[in-house]
Amino acid sequence: MKYNVTHLIHYLLPKMGRRLAPKVVYRIRVRIEAGEEVPAIAKAINVSPTTVYKIQLNLNLYGKLYTPASLIQN
């Protein structure tokens, strides 16, 4: 079976996930900065707690909502 090289590279890379709508990201960021708990944010905005934790981690480490393109986060 023949595979395209880019397909193999894509398959081996960790999943980056989809980007959220700007309004949703704004609401998450405001609640994080207000000091709300992650489970409460996830329930209020209807996203998974993992998503909120990742955004919170990125804000703490990089000051941005998403990791820079040159970094791969596991």
Tell me which of 1.10.10, 1.10.530, 1.10.3470, 1.10.760 is the CATH number of domain 20-69. Answer: 1.10.10
Residue type (1 letter), 23: K
Among residues 39, 46, 44, 34, the alpha carbon closest in space to that of 59 is found at 34
Domain ranges of the chain: 20-69
Global pTM value: 0.65
Check if the beta carbon of residue 50 is closer than 8 Å to that of residue 41.
no
Give tens-digit pLDDT for 26-49: 899 999 999 999 999 999 999 999
Give 51-61 pLDDT, tens digit per residue: 899 889 888 88
Q: What is the pLDDT of residue 38?
A: 93
Contact in structure between 19 and 66 (CB atoms under 8 Å): yes
pLDDT at 16: 47
The Cα–Cα gap between 65 and 25 comes to 8
The pair of three-digit structure tokens given for residue 59, joined into one six-digit string: 């804000």
What percent of the chain is modeled with pLDDT above 70?
65
Calculate the average pLDDT of the chain. Answer: 77
